[in-house]
Each structure stands twice: as C-alpha cells, then as structure tokens.
Amino acid sequence: MDDPRAAVHSLVRRNLGPIKPVKAAPLHVARSMHPEEAFRATLSDCLAQITANAATLRAGRSVEGLHQLRVAFRRLEVALGAFGREFGQDWLEELRGRARILSGRLAPARDLDVFVGKLLSEPPKSGVSEGLSQLRGRAESARDTAWQAVATCISGADFELFADDVAALASSQLPLTRNRRLPRTARRMLDRQVARVKKRGKVAISQDEGDLHRLRIALKKLRYTAEFFAPLYPRRDVARYLKKLRGLQNHLGDLNDVANVRSVVSGLLREKNRKDDDGTLRYAAGAMVGWYGAQVPGAIKHALKRYKKFKRVKAFWR
C-alpha cells in the first residue's frame, strides 16, 4: 500500500512540499502488515506532519501551523514510547527524548498564542480593562520573542539532524521484533495505554489538579495510539470511541487552560516595563487568575463525571 505522504520530508527539504498547516491523517496501516512495518509507517506519517508544518512556519507565522507541529511531535513521542516498549528497544528513548526537547522549545510560543488569542478574551473586563490592556501588551511582546525562538529552532541543526534520523529509521530494515501479527501487537499496546489511564484515573479521584493533568496526558497517549491503529478496525466503532475520548480530553483541557493562565501571567509579571502602571497591571492579572481559578471546581466535577462515563465505553479492539 503506497503512502502518498511518505515523500513529504524529502519534498520539503527541496522547498517543493506543502506550505500550509497539515493535520494528522489516517495512517496507511493494514492487518497484513508486520508490526515493524506499521511502526515505520507511523514514523513516516509523523515526520511528514512535522516537516510540512515546519515548512509552513519558515514561510511565515502561522498559529495553526505551530499547533499542528507540536501535535506531530507529541504523536511521534507516543509512537516511539509505545512501540519501543512493545519491541523492547530501549534505545528509542534517546530519539524520544530529543523529540521532547525540540517540542519544548516550541511550547512558549504556543502557550502565548493561546493566552493572547483565547484566554485574555474570556474574563469579565469591568474594572480591569486598563490593566488587561497592559497585560496584553506584555504578552504580545513576549509572544514575538517566543516566535523568534521557534524560527531559530526549526532552522537549527538539531531540528534538521533529528528529522534526518527519524527519516533514516523509518526507511531502515533494522530488525526490531520477532512478532509478525499486527492485530495482536495493537491489542497489547492499546491495553497498556488503557491500564495507564485507569491507574491515573484512580489517583485523579483526589481532585488534585496535578493528578488530573497526568490523567489528561495518559488519555492523550491512548488517543494517539488508538488513531495509529484505527484502520485495522470497523470505522464506526473507532469513531464512537474516539468521540467519547476527545470529549473527555476537552473537559480536562479546560483545567489546562487555568494552568496556562497561571504560568503565563507569572512570567509576564516578572518582566519590567516602565510604561506600565504596575499596580493596575497586577490587580488585573490577579483578577484574571482568580476568575479562571474560580472555574476549577466545576471543571473538575464535570471532567470526573465524563471520565466515569468513558470507563463504560467499549474498547473497539476487543
């Protein structure tokens, strides 16, 4: 089965690839494949998404392009971790660590994109409009600096070498496992992700925000792994499962927004700017953090309620 996206990496390197944000697409995997072949197809797909979105960003700032680039890195991290554990290939952790480092260099710009484009607009403005305007000014300045770091990252030697190493692994014939039946491998990998979710879910009952964050990460790993193997199973069953999973992730994402506000505001307040009225700015910042903080109890309640329902959803691979 030919993958039309497999050559995107080489095309982009010659400035012939797409110059627009690229979302993840269904993988080209089939039941007849060996697990190693599915792994390499997954790597190729993740790399295609990385290099296509990097090309988009080299052509100019794109909020969606940066978002999709980070999604691609997270998908690749999950693939390297999940397949690496299944195959017993610990050395893949080194490549996974490099993916995490590169993704981390992109994170400040993405956090500030969300903060400026979404989070600053939601709290009430009454009594704090002047301070919020000053906060926006600082955020936009910090955002410009963060975007400069993005440009440096995607044009740097670390990024290029990493992409080439992933491309080499995706096209290699290096033996990774003796397993030959992909459905069995997929089932084990998915069951492993579910076990992690259940473990995080038991702890998250405490309603601690840190525990809920770890549950959100576990669910994200389950989702990406489910998407990797989706073509192996009935489309309707997969769609039903992923719809419930994404809905739960969205509720937990509301809590992540609160964490984003706290982190970004804290960083902005550490900056010095003589033009700002420090008292007005800090009052508005405190009001914003307080407004988002007040949403936490309700968000936790809804998230745990959705998680309880999700646990009853039938796994499509069973």
Per-residue pLDDT band for 3 (boundaries 50, 70, 90) equals very low
Cβ atoms of 87 and 45 within 8 Å: the answer is: no
- In this prediction, residue 292 carries a pLDDT of 93
Q: Is 275 helix (H, G, I), strand (E, B) or coil?
A: coil
CA distance 169 to 178: 18
- pLDDT at position 277 is 67
Q: What is the mean pLDDT of the chain?
A: 91
Asked whether the predicted pLDDT for residue 5 surpasses 70, the reply is no
Q: Which pLDDT does position 275 carry in this prediction?
A: 67
Residue pLDDT, tens place only, 74-131: 999 999 999 999 999 999 999 999 999 999 999 999 999 999 999 998 888 777 888 8
Average pLDDT over residues 287-296: 93
Pick the more confident residue, 1 or 318. Answer: 318
Dump pLDDT digits (tens) for 226-259. Answer: 999 999 999 999 999 999 999 999 999 989 999 9
Tens of pLDDT along 293-317? 999 999 999 999 999 999 999 999 9
pLDDT one-digit tens code per residue, 270-287: 887 656 668 888 999 999
Neighbours of 229 (CB within 10 A): 23
Residue whose pair of structure tokens reads 């890195």 in the numeric block: 73
* 268-271 CB contacts, 8 Å cutoff, 24+ apart: 268/135, 268/138, 268/139, 268/142, 271/138, 271/142
The pLDDT value recorded for residue 4 is: 44
CA distance 83 to 190: 11
Alpha carbon of 82 to those of 52, 121, 190, 224, 261: distances in Å?
A: 24, 38, 9, 10, 31
Whole-number pLDDT of residue 126: 78
